[in-house]
Structure 1
Amino acid sequence: MAGNPRAELVVVADPFAEAAGALAERYKCDPSTDCEAAIDREDVDAIIIGTPTDTHLDYLLRAVGKGKAVMCEKPVDRDIARSRAAVEEIERLSGRVMMAFNRRFDPTSREFRAAIDAGEIGEIRQVIITSRDPELPPEDYLRHSGGIFRDMVIHDFDFARFLLGEEPVEIMAMAGRLVDPGLEKIPDFDTVMVQMRTASGKQCHINCCRSAVYGYDQRFEAFGSVGMLLQDNLRPTTIRRWNSTQTDAREPLLNFFLQRYQESYQAELEHFISALEAGTAMPVTVRDGLIASWLAECAYESIRTGRAVRVQPSSRN
């Protein structure tokens, strides 16, 4: 935000005074340890919520209630009933809210979607999404996250909708604790697979793991009637090396999401500001956030029952 010439960073709010103060000094704005007071300021027009999952909803509703525009990280809330009620209230108030599903704004991902729209691979038949983190997050983070489907896989649910162009109507999920069996006490999982089907029969396979020793693994494949598209991992450079000890050696994958999706965060902010300036619809709405959250709930239901779950359209609303 501080580097965007179309906006002015007014205040940074963080419950840790040292963190807020350091950022405020660096970016020449006010520090605050009171998020609600920061939202209430008369010189603040828009809010970016990047706080822990279980705080999103209260800050979001407070901001909308005061007429502030909001870009909020996923999900709306860990609880689907609270999320649905919040979305209904935001829509009743005509709140200007954008959900921060940043992958949609990644330059490579947008070119990927444009190629699908241009008919380069014909009719979509299958979408395959691989998403693996470099290491397991701290336990305290996991306890507040809402679980792997609501916190991590929710990005993949949204991206699947983005690529398929249709809503899933059936979902089957499996989950395990292959990295840390101790996650049972939270409870949470670290390794999952999901299969989804749309009404027209399009298929999507998602596989996620919290720990990949080789780095941040983000790969996407779209297979169609006349071809295939593959979006591979990004690396610091495209150099490949051959010598007496290695063949086709490449640099390691980018470290984590902050490096991999740096451009997409900037583009996401540009779209948010553009929508505010032009008075147009947000490119990703709270309703999109609710649908992704409902897919997460269906995944948990599939794990509980060991069966495929029908995603009823009425349940997403």
Structure 2
Amino acid sequence: MKKLTLGIIGAGRIGRLHVDNLQLVPEIHVKSVSDVVIDHLKSWACEKQIDVLTTDYKELLHDSEIDAVFICSPTTTHANLIKEAAAAGKHIFCEKPVSFSVEETEEALAEVKKAGVKIQVGFNRRFDPNFRKIRSLVQEGTVGTPHILKITSRDPEPPNADYVKSSGGLFMDMTIHDFDMARYVMDSEVVEVSAYGTVLVDPAIGEAGDIDTAIITLKFANGALGVIDNSRQAVYGYDQRVEIFGDKGTAQAENNRATTVEVSTAEHVTKDKPLYFFLERYTQAYIDEVTEFAKACLEDTDVTCTGFDGLQAERIAKAAKLSLQKGQPVQLSSIAQIVTN
């Protein structure tokens, strides 16, 4: 069996999660892991049978046995790591967002194209079976011509203020998943963005210069409309829903729950809360995204979520932030020029 040998750059929560999932795929061998601090990782690396644990990511890039790297380090490091990995001839899986700068992302993707390697961006929700079903119903014409897309995405608890300061803001950190999902489900580009936001959950988030509650409306090139609602705190759990409405009908993807049991008595009707957070909600999606990345590399096929997809989601996030600041709709076509200036 031909195997894909991988190196992981960044061993925080998401990096270690990927290691767990990658080791479930027979065609993958995780050889090396790098992080700026590794003392606390030694027993973990031994348990996971990682061959190389290092503080120098360049060891991974210079290792001829490594076919691809996973970039799971802080966002501010992504663009340069992509360039270096591409120059070293490694295929690349990069967590979202590619960067906080549209210009930096474009430069990094240009190097990927020049090197002829693959890059997949970690928008794991594309691999969720519920959302994939919604997309297929649109593509098959089951709901007819799409008119309205609704996405609800609400976290169970807010992040701390320190995280907020380095996150890139709600639109780049959280809503960017929904921007990608909107393009994925509709199979149409966003042409205009209007965003409204406020601080209703935690004053510390506002003090850190961000918002925690938002409504974003989208106009698509195919004429359809989209609505996204976000909150940093849904007290009942991780709220993840999608609805598509067209001229032939509608389809909804509801929350995943621990069970589908609904109990009805004279006093009340109850069912399980939504799964608590993204690690539980998207377990299978995380596994499927790395499995499909490996397959694309081994069989030389297209990846499911490209660098261009990552770029477009960033552009929408930038447009949303600008719309919030200016209090008016923003055309996506203006974003590259705005960011460059």
Aligned to 2:10: none
Residue identity matched to 2:145: E
Instruction: Choose the corresponding residue for 2:88, options 66, 76, 81.
Output: 66
Aligned to 1:304: 325
Instruction: Choose the corresponding residue for 1:5, options 22, 26, 51.
Output: 26
**Cα distance per residue 1:61-90 (max 9 Å; x no partner):** 221110111111111111222122222222
What is the DSSP-based 3-state SS (H/G/I as helix, E as strand, rest coil) of the residue aligned with 1:234? coil
1:18 to partner: Cα distance: 4.0
For the 8 Å contact 2:121–2:310, the answer to whether it is kept is: yes
Q: Distance in 1 between matches of 2:40 and 2:139?
A: 44
For the 8 Å contact 2:87–2:111, the answer to whether it is kept is: no
My pick for the range that moved more, 211-220 or 90-99, is: 90-99
CA root-mean-square deviation: 1.8
**Cα distance per residue 1:240-277 (max 9 Å; x no partner):** 11235432x11121111111111111111111111111
1:268 equivalent to 2:289? Answer yes
For the 8 Å contact 1:131–1:218, the answer to whether it is kept is: yes
1:12 to partner: Cα distance: 2.2
1:43 equivalent to 2:65? Answer yes
**Cα distance per residue 1:194-248 (max 9 Å; x no partner):** 001123320000011111111100000000001000000000111111235432x
1:31 to partner: Cα distance: 2.1
For the 8 Å contact 1:254–1:260, the answer to whether it is kept is: yes
Q: 1:11-26 residue pairs with structure 2 within 5 A?
A: 11-26=32-47
Aligned to 2:161: 139
Instruction: Choose the corresponding residue for 1:278, options 287, 293, 299.
Output: 299
For the 8 Å contact 2:138–2:186, the answer to whether it is kept is: no
Aligned to 2:309: 288
Q: Distance in 2 between matches of 1:19 and 1:41?
A: 24
Q: CA 1:258–1:39 in structure 2 vs 1: closer, same or farther (change >3 Å)? A: farther
Instruction: Choose the corresponding residue for 2:274, options 253, 261, 264.
Output: 253
What is the DSSP-based 3-state SS (H/G/I as helix, E as strand, rest coil) of the residue aligned with 2:257? coil
Residue identity matched to 1:9: V
Q: Distance in 1 between matches of 2:276 and 2:263?
A: 20
Q: CA 1:16–1:103 in structure 2 vs 1: closer, same or farther (change >3 Å)? A: same
1:206 equivalent to 2:228? Answer yes
Residue identity matched to 1:75: P
For the 8 Å contact 1:11–1:24, the answer to whether it is kept is: no
1:108 to partner: Cα distance: 1.5
1:225 equivalent to 2:252? Answer no
1:313 to partner: Cα distance: 7.7
Q: Distance in 1 between matches of 2:115 and 2:32?
A: 25
My pick for the range that moved more, 109-118 or 178-187, is: 178-187
Q: 1:38-187 residue pairs with structure 2 within 5 A?
A: 38-187=60-209
Residue identity matched to 1:278: E
Aligned to 1:195: 217
Residue identity matched to 2:70: I
Q: CA 1:228–1:200 in structure 2 vs 1: closer, same or farther (change >3 Å)? A: same
What is the DSSP-based 3-state SS (H/G/I as helix, E as strand, rest coil) of the residue aligned with 1:10? strand
1:19 to partner: Cα distance: 4.1
Q: Distance in 2 between matches of 1:173 and 1:283?
A: 28
TM-score, normalised to structure 1's length?
0.94
Q: Distance in 2 between matches of 1:36 and 1:187?
A: 35
**Cα distance per residue 1:104-136 (max 9 Å; x no partner):** 111121122112211111110000000011111
Moved over 6 A (4+): none
My pick for the range that moved more, 134-143 or 11-20, is: 11-20
Q: CA 1:54–1:287 in structure 2 vs 1: closer, same or farther (change >3 Å)? A: same
For the 8 Å contact 1:132–1:218, the answer to whether it is kept is: yes
